[in-house]
Amino acid sequence: MDKTTPTVRNVATTSASNALGWQPQRAPGMPPLVEQLVQHCRQLLASHSLRAGTRLPSVRQLADSTGVSRDTVVQAYDRLVAQGVAHSRPGAGFFVSAQRFPHKGQGAKTLQTPSLSADAAFDTPFLLRSMFRPTQEAQFDGSTGILPASWLDHDMLNAAVRSVGRSAGLQLLGYGAPQGYAPLRQQLAAYLLAQGLAVDPEQELMTVSGVTQGMDLVLRSHLRPGDAVLVEDPAWFMVFGLLRALGVQVLPVPRLRDGPDLDALQRLAAAHRPKLFITNTVVHNPTGFGLALPVAYDVLRLAEQHDFLILEDDTYADFAPQQPLRLATLDRLRRVLLVGGFSKTLAGSLRVGYIAASPERIRALTDAKLLSGLTSPELGERVVHRILADGQYRKHVQRLRERLDSTRQRCLKLVENLGLRVHQEPLAGMFVWADAGQDTETLARQAAAQGVLLAPGVLFSATQQPSTMLRLPVSMADDPASMAVLGRCL
């Protein structure tokens, strides 16, 4: 042994045959031996019984002294190397690595962000940071646009993941296709055709990593700083964040129960010559409103008259009570680009979406996708394809709609009992758009201080003026504690 190399010391036992002081526990219910050894070594590191540079016992020595297989020791040492707490020197063995940062649970500190109740700007980035905070800080997150995990079909998703894992093999090791996994595009074409929209999967469809990436690709490909863009008001707060980042002129169009305010749309289009109109036609976020056929035809007429494109957000269309009325269907993708996805109905972490558009726009958007991120992860696309192809998705979505409908009615009664007013009930969807009769940004800060995250109306406005409106998830009806917090803040 090199005399300059420290040996293991200050451990529970100094026996040469087991210098780490570890004895395997084989009783029923105990963790696997590899995990036991890894945790024992980490405890020695935490107590400073193992110092940087210390050589660990050889694989043969530790295996012989403890009665475990050499493979068990090798696996444990490999895990320690993977976790950055040990390293291997060829021909010399395994050594303790210097620790630059404390491990989680040992004094580690995460990146500090403003408190939910602090005086930071209540804008899109603030809400996004709040959405992804550690769950222990927020007892109820009513700010996100996802359903509770308990509402989703874990068995269906897990079965699809296992099926893909068994069948895909080496095909998962490549980059995937820039336009997206071809069988998924074919399945998406069938899915849209069943809803009245005929698309060519080879020329008029591409996949993206969720609706947000899809919208970002469309906006970056069609807009330049200073361009005028029509946007519904209220609208999804992410839209305003994306547009501000591009430096465009945002023109708010009031959103009514049957669609956008046509008089305002006509007036703004004539005055500003917009490049694009962004609209959420089916199950509008945050109001839950829809689109009437006469309004849809007038929107397309104005787009033709004033030569602007339409970006149609289809995020919540699967929650529509009947076959959705889309501008893309009436327009046949001449001026309309449709963006949709499956994060709301399958899993928030399953970032799989699509864009339906004319062939020339799909070609340009695919090139833009290549430049910004090459391809979409094919694993998720294969999982969604498996779920759609197996025929389970339709019944799954039907169950979600039924649960949303029943829960929404309870939510409406609860919020009205608290004194909030719902001027027009939503037709469908995950949210209730309620009037609190007071500045809801202040209300949201007060609720955040008590562990309940809410989305105030200011976030859904293009002008970001103070608002009395509040977007509440209907699932809040199943959480009496969060309802009690809301009641105390009113």
Q: What is the DSSP string of 281-313?
A: -SS-TTT-----HHHHHHHHHHHHHHT-EEEEE
Please tell me the distance from the alpha carbon of residue 113 to that of residue 285, in angstroms, as a whole number: 27
**What would you report as the CA-atom Rg of the chain, rounded to the nearest whole angstrom?**
28
Q: Is the pLDDT of residue 2 over 50?
A: no
* Cis ω before 426 (30° cut-off from 0): no
458 pLDDT band (50/70/90 cuts)?
Answer: very high
Between 132 and 82, name the one with better pLDDT. 82
Q: Is the pLDDT of residue 172 over 80?
A: no
Q: Is the pLDDT of residue 72 over 50?
A: yes
Last residue of a domain, one of 80, 96, 112: 96
Identify the CA nearest to 115 among candidates 465, 453, 358.
453
pLDDT at position 15 is: 35
Q: Lowest-confidence range among 275-279, 369-373, 431-435? A: 369-373
Task: Give per-residue pLDDT as tens, 371-429.
Answer: 888 888 888 999 999 999 988 899 999 999 999 999 999 999 999 999 999 999 999 99
Please state the domain count of the chain.
3
Listed in sequence order, the DSSP H helices in 107-153 are 124-131
CATH assignment of the domain containing 422: 3.90.1150.10
Give the mean model confidence (pLDDT) for residues 479-485: 93
CATH assignment of the domain containing 26: 1.10.10.10
User: Do 286 and 322 belong to one domain?
Assistant: yes
Give the pTM: 0.79
User: Do 389 and 441 belong to one domain?
Assistant: no
Q: Lowest-confidence range among 18-22, 205-209, 234-238? A: 18-22
Give the distance, in angstroms, between the CA of residue 41 and the centroid of all CA atoms in the same chain: 36
Task: Give per-residue pLDDT as tens, 200-220.
Answer: 999 999 999 999 999 999 999
Mean pLDDT, rounded, of the chain: 87
pLDDT at position 3 is: 45
101 in any annotated domain:
no
Task: Give per-residue pLDDT as tens, 287-343.
Answer: 999 999 999 999 999 999 999 999 999 999 999 998 889 999 999 999 999 999 999
Q: Is the pLDDT of residue 160 over 70?
A: yes
pLDDT at position 244 is: 92
Q: Lowest-confidence range among 408-412, 448-452, 483-487? A: 448-452
User: Do 420 and 376 belong to one domain?
Assistant: no
Please tell me the distance from the alpha carbon of residue 392 to that of residue 157, in angstroms, as a whole number: 10
The kind and range of the H/E element at 238 are helix 237-246
Considering the chain, what percentage of its residues have pLDDT values greater than 70?
A: 87
pLDDT at position 11 is: 42
User: Do 318 and 401 belong to one domain?
Assistant: no
Give the mean model confidence (pLDDT) for residues 164-183: 80
104 in any annotated domain:
no
In the block, residue with structure tokens 């062939």: 359
85 in any annotated domain:
yes
Task: Give per-residue pLDDT as tens, 107-127.
Answer: 445 545 555 555 555 555 665
Q: Containing domain of residue 27, as a range? A: 16-96
Q: Are 127 and 459 in contact (CB under 8 A)?
A: yes
Give the mean model confidence (pLDDT) for residues 257-266: 97
How many other CB atoms sit within 10 Å of the CB of residue 90?
5
Please tell me the distance from the alpha carbon of residue 436 to that of residue 274, in angstroms, as a whole number: 34
User: Do 134 and 171 belong to one domain?
Assistant: no
User: Do 380 and 232 belong to one domain?
Assistant: yes
User: Do 367 and 428 belong to one domain?
Assistant: no
Q: Lowest-confidence range among 26-35, 39-48, 102-111, 194-203? A: 102-111
110 in any annotated domain:
no
Last residue of a domain, one of 393, 413, 445: 393
81 in any annotated domain:
yes
Among 6-15, 53-62, 327-336, 388-397, the range with the most confident prediction by mean pLDDT is 327-336
Considering the chain, what percentage of its residues have pLDDT values greater than 90?
A: 66
Between 479 and 176, name the one with better pLDDT. 479
User: Do 400 and 389 belong to one domain?
Assistant: no
Task: Give per-residue pLDDT as tens, 342-379.
Answer: 999 998 888 899 999 999 999 999 999 988 888 888 88
Q: Are 376 and 180 in contact (CB under 8 A)?
A: yes
410 in any annotated domain:
yes
Residues contacting 75, CB < 8 A, separation 6+? 34
234 pLDDT band (50/70/90 cuts)?
Answer: very high
Structure tokens at 388: 């759609």
pLDDT at position 98 is: 84
User: Do 388 and 399 belong to one domain?
Assistant: no
pLDDT at position 223 is: 96
pLDDT at position 121 is: 57
User: Do 415 and 378 belong to one domain?
Assistant: no
Residues contacting 474, CB < 8 A, separation 6+? 404, 407, 408, 411, 430, 431, 432
Between 84 and 170, name the one with better pLDDT. 84
313 in any annotated domain:
yes
Between 456 and 375, name the one with better pLDDT. 456
End-to-end CA separation in angstroms for the chain: 72
Give the mean model confidence (pLDDT) for residues 439-447: 91
